[in-house]
Structure 1
Amino acid sequence: AMEDEGDLQQLLRLAAAAVSRLQSHAMSSLQQTGTLENGNLQTTWQTEVPIRHGQEFIPLQVKLQREETPQQQADRQHDVQDPLQALWRIELAFDLSPLGPLQVQAQLSQGRLSGQLWAEREQTARLIDTQLGALRERLLARGLDVGDLE
């Protein structure tokens, strides 16, 4: 369908922009570690993953965090800590048609999973609310200890 050379140039510009964006996100996905006010160590990884939806690609923003107390840090250095003892958080953000913008935050603390989902559109929020029971049942069936899901 690209009979005109201008179309090819436009496609090359789009490809170059996509590669540049991937490189930028790869650099920002490097591990970032800092100490919180309470003395806990928090490590954060962030990235953006393109997902295919029909004929288009939608960016899925992912943020993963691990938070450990000073004792958990010492235990980890001596290989005696269970990784599930740390507080893990994952945040997802995406805009999926026809649902609209969605955000998901889940926490895993001492083997117990809890989470929150947000939708910009009221209809999508109602749909999520009606499906939370089924989500809970599926997670329990997989052997997870499930806390609050909102």
Structure 2
Amino acid sequence: MVVQTPTQSPRQVDAWEAKTPRNAREIEAQSTLIRQKVRNRPESSASSLDKQVAQLSKGAQQMAHKMTLMMEKMNSLQEALEGANKRKSRKRRYVRIEETLTVGDVQEVLAEQASSSRGDGESASKRVRGERRCGRCKQTGHNAHTCAIKVDNASDSDGSYG
């Protein structure tokens, strides 16, 4: 008879690996596994460690939820900013109000714009504001407060306000 020592069975490999959790579910799964490991160890005091792991898990979950909300808010703000930048950078075109244009006039204006945009060396003329005029006499050089012409209105002289 030959005496042999029994071979040791290989230790059971745990399915859990310590890695950084990326969301609240992974945090909860890791904290549950840590609590189970602590409870299974005979030499540890499970109650105090269990409370500490629970507190850590709760704090980490709150941070994960807040981070998710902040990421959503940041994405919505970035989209709004891109939309605002697109609106600001759009080229503005003005319609002439005071005069009527014929089809020929419009074609001439478009031809001028096309030739100036080709880069003939001349820059396109900037829009210049006309001189301000008086509201009473329609002349330039002064306004209605400094106008020499006095206007008598019957509705203004009756003394009733409002």
The TM-score, its normalising length taken from structure 1, stands at 0.24
The TM-score, its normalising length taken from structure 2, stands at 0.22
Larger radius of gyration: 2
Higher strand share: 1
